[in-house]
């Protein structure tokens, strides 16, 4: 009997340690993402409110480099993550976030400041609700992954095609689908971050956990940014 109580106590301690570790891991994910968001906002505001910089970037062929460079960095990050240290991966993410800010800085020249702030707040509430659902739900939503990723690929291809077509109807359809897809990805990615931690918690490899938190922050960051940009297409008032 005493031995059984000892086993239960030991299991309780291990469970408590895992729960505490999970909370710390999620705090690291959201904290890293938040710093990335601040860097993005700062870079976007600094460039977007400077008429000369906006014209120099988006009024020249340089805009193509600025628009596609973040996408290239995302693919490069995925390929390099195993070779990077946790500190190097974090630095890479912050550089990416700053470049993303430059890439979307044109919104300050296109939309009113009030509509940008309003859309950001709406996106924040939606993101927090969806992420909370992904974290707390007992339902396994891992099956959403392949469907949502296919949707992202379709959105990317449609967006590239519409750069040349310039169709408002296609743009509206892309924006509507984009909001739905990245709303789903927010819940899916949050649950995946939690599940991945629980599956590797027994190893407690600090280097792996550090890089895992940064990858999780990157995924949630991309979900937020894309949902914000698609919502801005609907809600933003143009200058």
pLDDT of residue 126: 96
Can you tell me the mean pLDDT for 170-193?
91
Q: Which residues pair with 111 in a beta bridge?
A: 238
**CA nearest to 102, candidates 155, 65, 127:** 65
Closest CA to 71 of 131, 157, 9: 157
Question: CB 154: neighbour CB atoms within 10 A?
Answer: 13
Determine the average pLDDT of the residues in 14-32. Answer: 83
Give residue 13's pLDDT band: very low, low, confident or very high (50, 70, 90): very low
In 3D space, the residue among 18, 6, 7 whose CA is nearest the CA of residue 195 turns out to be 18
pTM over 0.85: yes
The DSSP 8-state label assigned to residue 106 in this structure reads T
> What pLDDT is attached to residue 3?
45
How buried is residue 205: exposed, middle or buried, by Cβ count under 10 Å (0-12/13-18/19+)? exposed
Nearest to 99 by CA among 72, 127, 59, 60: 72
Q: What is the pLDDT of residue 207?
A: 75
């Amino acid at each position: 009997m005493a031995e059984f109580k000892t086993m239960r106590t030991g299991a309780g301690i291990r469970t408590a340690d895992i729960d505490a570790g999970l909370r710390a891991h999620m705090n690291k994910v959201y904290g890293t993402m938040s710093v990335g968001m601040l860097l993005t906002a700062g870079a976007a505001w600094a460039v977007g409110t400077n008429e000369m910089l906006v014209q120099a970037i988006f009024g020249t062929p340089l805009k193509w480099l600025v628009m596609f460079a973040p996408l290239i960095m995302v693919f490069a990050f995925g390929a390099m993550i195993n070779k990077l240290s946790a500190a190097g991966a974090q630095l890479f993410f912050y550089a990416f976030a700053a470049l993303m800010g430059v890439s979307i800085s044109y919104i300050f020249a296109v939309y009113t400041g009030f509509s940008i702030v309003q859309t950001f707040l709406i996106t924040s509430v939606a993101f927090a609700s969806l992420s909370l659902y992904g974290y707390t739900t007992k339902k396994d939503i891992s099956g959403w992954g392949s469907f949502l990723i296919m949707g992202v690929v379709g959105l990317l291809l449609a967006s590239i095609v519409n750069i040349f077509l310039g169709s408002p109807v296609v743009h509206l359809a892309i924006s509507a689908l984009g909001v739905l897809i990245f709303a789903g990805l927010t819940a899916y990615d949050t649950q995946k971050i939690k599940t991945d931690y629980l599956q590797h918690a027994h190893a407690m490899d600090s280097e792996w956990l550090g890089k895992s938190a940064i990858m999780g922050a990157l995924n949630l960051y991309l979900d937020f940014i894309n949902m914000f940009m698609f919502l801005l297409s609907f809600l933003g008032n143009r200058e």
